[in-house]
Amino acid sequence: MNPPATIADLLRTRAADCPDRTAITECDGTTLSFGRWWTRAEAGAAQLRENGVGPGAVVAAAMPDDSLGDAAVAWASTVLSGAVPMMATGLDANTLARGIATVGATHVIEGVEAQPDRNGRPLRVEEVATAPAPLPDDTALILHTSGTTGDPKWVACGNENLLWGKRVWEPRREVSLLCSLSVRDALGILVDTLCRAWSIVWHPYFNPADFIALAARHRVRAASLYGTWATRFTGDERPGEHETLENLRTVFISGSPPTPDAIVRLRSIAPRAKVVNLYTQTESWPEGTMTVYNADRPDSIGSPTSGTTVRIEGEDGSELPADEIGDICLRPARPPRRYVGQESDERKAITGDWIRTGDRGYVDRDGRLHLLDRWRSTIARGLAMVPIAAVETVLTQYGPIREAAVFPVPDNRVGEEIAVAIVADRPLDEDRLLRYLLPRLRPQYVPRRLYVLDELPRTRKGTVARHLLWRLTTEETSANDRA
């Protein structure tokens, strides 16, 4: 079939050729078919037009981050109305307000009803007064980054970017993909499943037992999860008596790459599956570097894919030769994405066609990328994705604290626990610090482990060397554990 021109064309095609096929299965078991997705999106688009939304407007989808189906309906409703969707699910009120002002959204979708009201309106919509921001031509979607150095940055994606190299496959046998990612990260996969007429089984509340049960129940062919979650497998998990993972052929891992031991444990559960590490950024997704796990090269995260170019920059911006450590930059082959309404910072930026990732590493003589110091933007604590920068901002506003660096530590109960290394001007009273943090942070965002250091470890460029924090804190005798 011909390549799709727009996301609307793609969804229209699927609603016509396989309307009854399940597009999304939610974590509570409810489903959304391609046909129902289209019908609800048409009703949502009509409602948005009644509210004065039209071409060129930006609509923020700001529902809770607990339903991929609702996010998909809000996205498609906005696209069909002629406006540009700004996907802002799960953001706190202050970050959302700043994002709306930055991007210039005129309306906010606060929720999607399971059943339309008596007038057929499926959305809860509120109008907001903001000045529109200039958008790149053909903007079809606005996503936010994870907020590595402060508030999230907003990235505009055109139809050409989202659909570059795609084709619409004939809807043959049903195939399922298990997705244990947040709504924001699942949207890119949703485009691929639309192209292939696959079904997404969405279960962001990851634990190994549920992963195995869902993969077996839905006979999934592929799965996608974060590297930090892959480390939760112990190797002792096994499918139940009447369960099998024989259909699972590929496991895609994004975020921080798991250790080789974690991959070995994962493969012991699904021996027929190849494990693929994907290293990328919101600014370049879905391109990046990808490798199928190779026991002989466990230290490398892979070679460039899909025409993406990788280079390592020195402190003066020049390209470094093989085996020299520097800043990792990516240049995707597809049309670039652009920031909206704000300038990028020096640590992570789109500069021309190049994307500076903010991570450090080197390329070996075989062209494989090695990641040495990754700027982690979130910590996967239980069900919560904790924004590192937001927690650090609150901490450094507390009087005695001069510097704070938040980082994850392994925890058998919640996967990753929140730790913070602090440089203070005077001794800290931990009870007072806790009373300060609780009204300003969600309870699950409050650090459980506190380490006081004389100074934070740094790279030659002066940025915090976070990969050294855990090593330093294990030797720090003044550490206190609240857990």
**Residue 215: inside a domain:** no
User: Residues 99, 151: contact at Cβ < 8 Å?
Assistant: yes
What is the predicted pLDDT for the residue at 347? 42
What value, to the nearest 5°, has the Cα angle with vertex 115 and ends 112 and 120? 90
Query: What gap in Å lies between CA 200 and CA 24, rounded to an integer?
Result: 5
User: Residues 75, 61: contact at Cβ < 8 Å?
Assistant: yes
Query: What gap in Å lies between CA 47 and CA 138, rounded to an integer?
Result: 23
User: Residues 424, 402: contact at Cβ < 8 Å?
Assistant: yes
- By CB atoms closer than 10 A (0-12, 13-18, 19+), residue 35 is middle
- By CB atoms closer than 10 A (0-12, 13-18, 19+), residue 241 is exposed
What is the predicted pLDDT for the residue at 91? 80
Domain stops at, among 163, 190, 210: 163
**Which of 168, 170, 198 lies closest to 186, judged by CA?**
198
E strand or H helix that includes residue 200: strand 199-202
Give me 192's structure tokens: 């691929």
User: Residues 396, 332: contact at Cβ < 8 Å?
Assistant: no
**Residue 441: inside a domain:** yes
Query: What gap in Å lies between CA 222 and CA 200, rounded to an integer?
Result: 10
What domain count does the chain have? 2
**Residue 219: inside a domain:** no
* pLDDT tens for each residue of the chain, 483 residues long: 666 678 888 999 999 999 999 999 998 899 999 999 999 999 999 999 999 998 889 999 998 888 999 999 999 999 999 999 999 988 878 888 888 988 889 999 998 887 776 667 788 888 886 666 667 667 888 988 765 444 567 888 888 778 777 788 888 888 899 998 888 888 888 888 899 999 999 998 788 888 888 999 999 999 998 877 777 776 677 777 656 788 899 998 887 666 666 777 788 888 888 888 777 666 666 555 666 776 666 667 777 766 678 889 887 788 999 999 888 887 777 666 777 876 544 344 656 677 777 777 888 888 888 877 655 567 878 767 787 877 888 898 898 998 899 988 877 778 788 999 999 988 889 999 999 999 988 888 999 999 999 888 875 445 677 767 766 655 543 444 444
**Which of 377, 381, 419, 424 lies closest to 400, judged by CA?**
424
Where are any strands of DSSP class E within 314-467?
326-331, 338-339, 349-351, 354-363, 369-373, 378-381, 384-387, 401-411, 415-424, 449-452
**Which of 417, 383, 349, 372 lies closest to 257, judged by CA?**
372
Query: What gap in Å lies between CA 368 and CA 310, rounded to an integer?
Result: 10
For the beta carbon of residue 272, count every other beta carbon within 10 angstroms.
11
Give me 473's structure tokens: 């804190």
Return the CATH number at 414: 3.30.300.30
**Residue 236: inside a domain:** no
Domain stops at, among 143, 163, 183: 163
Domain stops at, among 146, 163, 180: 163
**Paired strand residues for 440:** none
Return the CATH number at 88: 3.40.50.980
**Which of 479, 462, 459 lies closest to 470, judged by CA?**
479
**Which of 391, 27, 378 lies closest to 229, judged by CA?**
378
What's phi and psi for 312, nearest 5 deg?
-110, 125
Q: How far is CA 318 from the centre of its chain?
A: 30
Is 374 strand, coil or helix?
coil
Is 112 strand, coil or helix?
strand
**Residue 26: inside a domain:** yes
User: Residues 274, 320: contact at Cβ < 8 Å?
Assistant: no
User: Residues 401, 395: contact at Cβ < 8 Å?
Assistant: yes
What is the predicted pLDDT for the residue at 148? 46
Q: Kindly report each contact of residues 134-138 with a partner whose C-beta sits within 8 Å and lies 24 or more positions away, as own/partner.
A: 134/341, 135/56, 135/58, 135/84, 135/340, 136/338, 136/340
For the chain, the residue count is 483
Give me 433's structure tokens: 């610090």
> pTM above 0.75?
no
Strands 250-254 and 274-279: parallel
What's at 23, amino acid-wise? Answer: A
Query: What gap in Å lies between CA 379 and CA 406, rounded to an integer?
Result: 9
**Residue 222: inside a domain:** no
Q: What is the domain extent for residue 390? A: 378-481
What value, to the nearest 5°, has the Cα angle with vertex 230 and ends 227 and 232? 130
Q: How far is CA 7 from the centre of its chain?
A: 20
E strand or H helix that includes residue 59: strand 58-61
**Residue 350: inside a domain:** no
- Written in H, E and C, the secondary structure of 302-315 is EEECCCCEEEEECC
**Residue 404: inside a domain:** yes
